[in-house]
Amino acid sequence: MSRNYNVAVVGATGAVGVEMIKTLEKRNFPVANLKLLASARSAGKTAEFKGDKVTIEELTHDSFKGVDIALFSAGGDISKEFRASVVKSGAVMIDNSSAFRMESDVPLVVPEVNPEDVKWHNGVIANPNCSTIIMLVAVAPLHRAKKLRRMVAATYQATSGAGAKGMAELIEQTRQLLNNEPICPKAFAHRIGFNLIPHIDVFYDNGYTKEELKMLNETRKMLHDDSIQVSCTCVRVPVLRAHSEALNLEFENEITPEEARAILSAAPGIQIVDDPAAKLYPMPVEAAEQYDIQVGRIRQDISRNDKKGLDIFVSGDQVLKGAALNAVQIAELL
């Protein structure tokens, strides 16, 4: 028998929190009572849900009494601090931070990729990194059919990945550059206006960034295969919203572009945009504010002398499928 659920959104005033609220409404999630939680400075503000104004409350350890599902998007430190309170109250935490992703007792879930993993949660389910989600929605169906062995990825990550302040900085710097005004980067290590920054998160001793290694480790965890090899370069680009990725894929079995299109056309959460003659291919400006991941530029890897390699290009909304939508879809699975 269907029932309604008491849902809390933690980080309700942030870019992802706002989208979580919108997504719950758009997808008609069975909400009995919606509790919006944020820091003390946001308490007392209101947000709209299904035509009603909901007052934002200050997040405390007593906030989760009677809550069934708690959607967290307030950063890893907050998630760690409140985990015990959420679980003790009987709620399930769906966490958008990187705090628990690689913990062995926490499922890391994309509903189109590994829905079965929600079954073994112990009160916490993690949302993967946004770039990993966008990548695996496209790659997982191909892996199931042909077994992925190796993947080389280059990402083109929008400023939305750094939250509202990242997007605001791109807009501000674009205006400053067009008016010959001085630039003072705050959200990023360097100027992002009319520039690319091959640096997302901290660097490790092996020369890779934390963001790049997330894509390796999270892929292995979700596909349940530690033999898959992943090398990645993550790049911040002057785009407001929606991440893109160029993926070179090597499979155990031969695969043609035609086979790949057929597999991807039958897979959930994917829109094939692949008609180069008509200048149709995935682009962030088209993927923004869409639920589906766009996949195109599907072609045989001509650097190989077999048919086990493919190149594809994907674009997906980092705030939606890369964060808020995926969290709500996990709640729907529950």
Question: What residues are labeled active site?
Answer: 130, 243
How many C-beta atoms surround the C-beta of residue 53 within 10 A? 9
Answer for the pair 306, 290: CB distance below 8 angstroms, yes or no.
Answer: no
Neighbouring-strand partners of residue 229: 150
Q: Are 96 and 323 in contact (CB under 8 A)?
A: yes
CA–CA gap between residue 121 and residue 312 (Å, rounded): 33
Query: Is residue 239 a contact partner of residue 169, using CB atoms and an 8 Å limit?
Result: no
Decide if 131 contacts 234 (C-beta within 8 A). yes
3-state secondary structure of 182: coil
**How many Å apart are CA 235 and CA 159, to the nearest integer?**
10
